[in-house]
């Protein structure tokens, strides 16, 4: 039996964020600034090319001086930015970025992310009792892991927007639990406010579509028969998933999604708060988009997926019946009580729902025709432009000659670019920042559009600035602690600060706790208010370890805190 390959269309139904990882988040005042209702993600290469003072800008970045950066860039801030977004709500938190392709900087829904969501749904479908992962799916070690027979491509998406998110939480009043919105670490209220404990996500907007494919490796799976592994758990179910039309797989996913949404509907009906009716409307709309025939599937994926979805949603028949945490910092709180809610297009909605649709041959042909037509139009425009410049024979000659020269030049340019990038990476690994930046600037002159150069240069410039900042900070500390103790501890108003600073000073080279130092410490200790003096004795153990018990006991007697 041949493998089954299905061209698919992924359509975003509610704001979708496929995270690029914590290391790639945009930091306010370091990567982006907020100004006049916009978010500007600054491009340091463009700033440098524009002749602006990169050193001054870097210093402002290190201080997270959002206002100073905006003033320095002025009305050029848009053209000096890598991306510009509408600002949905102000925030001091990092912006969660979307995964992008390396070379063309396109938003990318990774096949592994789609596969992970499908895997959760299949876990719910396959299992009959509480089984471990390997009991349900098999293992990679012996080649029985079921998900290796389901292959999914990455899907490029057109563009992204910024979406504000809030946490819907549960709060306890007496013996009852009530819905609310989280506004700070320890504050949840019924009132909705778009700012306060909110996070911005770079998302693909609802209505966006991308193309990919799903391959079901029926051929490889059939080898399990050959090697006598048909007694694996849930073998017949797995076989039908691969051998039946993809509608069967879609129907399995839809059944899990439908059950999940119905439980979420009941959850928000019971635990309401301001504007939670919008979430209910969103859930009802999502339920209405689930087809009865498996012609497509609706599923939840990536950021904001939540405990229930990511685990296959098999533990609880009713989200209201989850128990309380019995230990740790959450002890006494209800389990799995938070939901990440997107505030997009003036409506509150669940995050990350997408629709997968297997394209028919006619739909595939239609898309191919559109691509062919677009290509044909571009080619015709190019030919007309050439004919205006010269006769047909001359055009062919010049075109061929130019092609050969361009190919040779491109080859040399690519070789030089590769050499510069390799050298820059070696310089970066060895922390030779200036050499790395110089090589990257030369590489950027060859290929200004390559994001690899921009990212590497940003990393080197930031690392260099941070290294210089830390070096200056270390020098300042060394200068500070080279002074007499009386100068270092002058004006300390808390017991902890006084003792801690003294201990740090004593750990410096050649420092001792002699009579002048004891007198200086005693002088500052006597200036403490009564409350800090009472706390002083409990803090002196740290000083006793380095200055000796005798010296500390003498201080206690003179301070009257024996």
Please give the structure tokens belonging to residue 26: 């945009």
d(CA 295, CA 6): 13
| Count of all residues that appear for the chain in the document | 562
pLDDT confidence of residue 342: 96
| Average pLDDT of span 311-335 | 68
Give the phi and the psi of residue 334 in degrees, each rounded to 5: -75, 140
pLDDT confidence of residue 345: 93
Whether the predicted pLDDT of 375 surpasses 70: no
Whether the predicted pLDDT of 273 surpasses 80: yes
Whether the predicted pLDDT of 519 surpasses 50: yes
d(CA 168, CA 341): 7
203 DSSP β-pair partners: 161
Q: Which are the contacts of 215, defined by CB distance < 8 A and separation ≥ 6?
A: 3, 4, 5, 6, 150, 151, 152
If you compute the radius of gyration of the chain from its CA atoms, what whole number of angstroms results?
A: 32
Please give the structure tokens belonging to residue 212: 């990919």
Whether the predicted pLDDT of 215 surpasses 50: yes
213 DSSP β-pair partners: 7
Q: For residues 519 and 559, is the Cβ–Cβ distance under 8 A?
A: no
| Average pLDDT of span 444-457 | 84
d(CA 142, CA 458): 44
Whether the predicted pLDDT of 372 surpasses 70: no
Q: How far is CA 472 from CA 237, 369, 409, 465, 479, in A?
A: 65, 62, 45, 11, 10
Q: Which are the contacts of 124, defined by CB distance < 8 A and separation ≥ 6?
A: 256, 312, 313, 314
* Overall pTM surpassing 0.75 (yes/no): no
Whether the predicted pLDDT of 142 surpasses 80: no
Whether the predicted pLDDT of 167 surpasses 90: yes
Could you give the 3-state DSSP secondary structure of residue 71?
helix
Q: What is the mean pLDDT of the chain?
A: 84
Whether the predicted pLDDT of 250 surpasses 70: yes
Q: Which are the contacts of 555, defined by CB distance < 8 A and separation ≥ 6?
A: 518, 521, 522, 525, 540
| Average pLDDT of span 405-433 | 87
Q: For residues 117 and 299, is the Cβ–Cβ distance under 8 A?
A: yes
d(CA 141, CA 148): 12
Counting residues of the chain whose pLDDT is more than 90, the rounded percentage is: 32
Q: Which are the contacts of 456, defined by CB distance < 8 A and separation ≥ 6?
A: 421, 424, 425, 428, 436, 440
């Amino acid at each position: 039996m041949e493998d089954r390959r299905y061209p698919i269309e992924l359509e975003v139904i509610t704001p979708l964020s496929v995270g690029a990882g914590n290391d790639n988040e945009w930091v306010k005042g370091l990567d982006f600034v907020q100004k006049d209702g916009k978010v500007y993600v600054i491009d340091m290469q463009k700033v440098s090319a524009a002749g602006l003072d990169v050193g001054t800008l870097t210093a402002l970045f290190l201080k997270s001086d959002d206002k100073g950066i905006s003033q320095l860039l002025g009305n050029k801030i848009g053209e000096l930015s890598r991306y510009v977004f509408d600002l949905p709500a102000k925030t001091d938190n990092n912006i969660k970025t979307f995964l992008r392709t390396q070379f063309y900087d396109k938003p990318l829904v990774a096949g592994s992310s789609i596969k992970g969501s499908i895997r959760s749904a299949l876990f719910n479908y396959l299992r009959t009792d509480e089984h471990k992962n390997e009991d349900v799916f098999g293992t990679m070690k012996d080649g029985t892991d079921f998900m290796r027979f389901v292959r999914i491509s990455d899907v490029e998406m057109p563009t992204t927007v910024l979406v504000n998110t809030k946490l819907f939480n549960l709060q306890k009043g007496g013996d009852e639990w009530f819905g609310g919105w989280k506004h700070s670490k320890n504050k949840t209220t019924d009132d909705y406010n778009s700012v306060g404990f909110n996070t911005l996500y770079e998302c693909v907007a609802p209505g966006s579509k991308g193309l990919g494919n799903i391959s079901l490796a029926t051929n490889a799976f059939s080898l399990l028969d050959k090697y006598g592994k048909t007694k694996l758990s849930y073998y017949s179910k797995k076989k039908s998933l691969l051998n039946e039309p993809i509608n069967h797989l879609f129907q399995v996913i839809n059944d899990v999604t439908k059950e999940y949404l119905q439980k979420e509907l009941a959850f928000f009906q019971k635990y309401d708060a301001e504007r939670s009716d919008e979430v209910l409307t969103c859930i009802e709309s999502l339920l209405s988009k689930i087809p009865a025939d498996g012609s497509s599937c609706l599923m939840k994926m990536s950021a904001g997926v939540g405990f229930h979805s990511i685990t296959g949603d098999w533990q609880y028949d009713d989200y209201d019946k989850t128990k309380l945490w019995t230990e740790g910092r959450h002890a006494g709180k209800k389990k799995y009580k938070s939901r990440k809610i997107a505030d997009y297009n003036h409506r509150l909605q669940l995050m990350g729902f997408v629709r997968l649709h297997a394209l028919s041959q006619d739909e595939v042909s239609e898309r191919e025709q559109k691509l062919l037509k677009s290509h044909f139009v571009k080619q015709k425009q190019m030919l007309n432009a050439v004919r205006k410049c010269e006769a047909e024979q001359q055009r062919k000659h010049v075109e061929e000659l130019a092609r050969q020269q361009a190919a040779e030049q491109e080859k040399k340019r690519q070789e030089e670019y590769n050499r510069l990038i390799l050298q820059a990476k070696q310089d970066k690994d060895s922390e030779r920042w200036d050499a790395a930046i110089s090589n990257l600037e030369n590489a950027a002159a060859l290929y200004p559009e390559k994001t690899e150069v921009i990212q590497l240069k940003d990393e080197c410039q930031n690392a260099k600035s941070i290294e210089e900042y830390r070096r200056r900070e270390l020098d300042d500390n060394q200068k500070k602690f080279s002074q007499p103790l009386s100068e270092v501890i002058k004006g300390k108003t808390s017991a902890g600060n006084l003792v801690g600073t003294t201990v740090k000073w004593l750990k410096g080279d050649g420092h001792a706790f002699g009579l002048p130092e004891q007198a200086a410490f005693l002088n500052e200790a006597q200036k403490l208010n009564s409350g800090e003096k009472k706390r002083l004795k409990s803090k002196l153990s740290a000083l006793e370890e380095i200055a000796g018990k005798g010296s500390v006991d003498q201080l206690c007697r003179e301070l009257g805190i024996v």
